[in-house]
Amino acid sequence: MNILFEDNHLFIVSKPAGLLTQPSGTSEDSLEAQAKAFLKIRDQKPGNVFLEVVHRLDKPVSGIVVFAKTSKALSRLNATQREKKFRKVYRATVEGHLRNKSGTLDYHLLHDHYRAKVDPSGKRAVLHYFVLEEFKNSSHVEVELETGRYHQIRAQFAYVGHPILGDHKYGSQVDWKQGIALQHVLIEFPHPITSDVVKISL
């Protein structure tokens, strides 16, 4: 386990690309299953380990994942997310050069068969981006989510003609070393018990 923060209520780790966040009902391994097994052995727990993911990362995405270690923490964190008190920042490398070096992508996304597509009947999806560096055929961008829709970053950048490197599902023509070039690098939120600000970055 690549543990970034832990106390009696939170277990925050870094997920590698290519690993499911949660069990999918198949035999495929997941970060949640690995974390539960780790805590059970380390803490010598005789029964089941309570550990629930607070937010999910797509399988090909790497980065910070927050787990709740108690039901009280989970319910409060879920409420905090609904109140939009979570700050989530990602870094991505996308194909091409964006016309505007900073801006907002604001579309409606519809979840459709393991994909998200821009559709007026979908839910509003808003993100803000800033270009950190440009390369010959790609751009490295920082992305801050205002909403947390299914495949939001992947679908929105693909829609404007700049798919994330390695994201073949959304039209990338470039291979990436592992997963896709998208990482969750910063999360900030009030602690579910103390209300102190928890800020974790990679």
Listing DSSP states for 143-185 in one string gives EEESS--TTHHHHHHHHTT-PBTT-GGGT--S--SSS-SEEEE
Rg (C-alpha) for the chain, rounded Å, is: 17
Question: How far, in Å, CA of 83 to CA of 96, rounded?
Answer: 35
DSSP 121-145: TSEEEEEEEEEEEE-SSEEEEEEEE
CA count, 13 A, side-chain hemisphere, 26? 5
> Is 58 a residue of the active site?
yes
Selected catalytic residue, list 29, 43, 58, 196? 58
**Which residues are designated catalytic?**
58
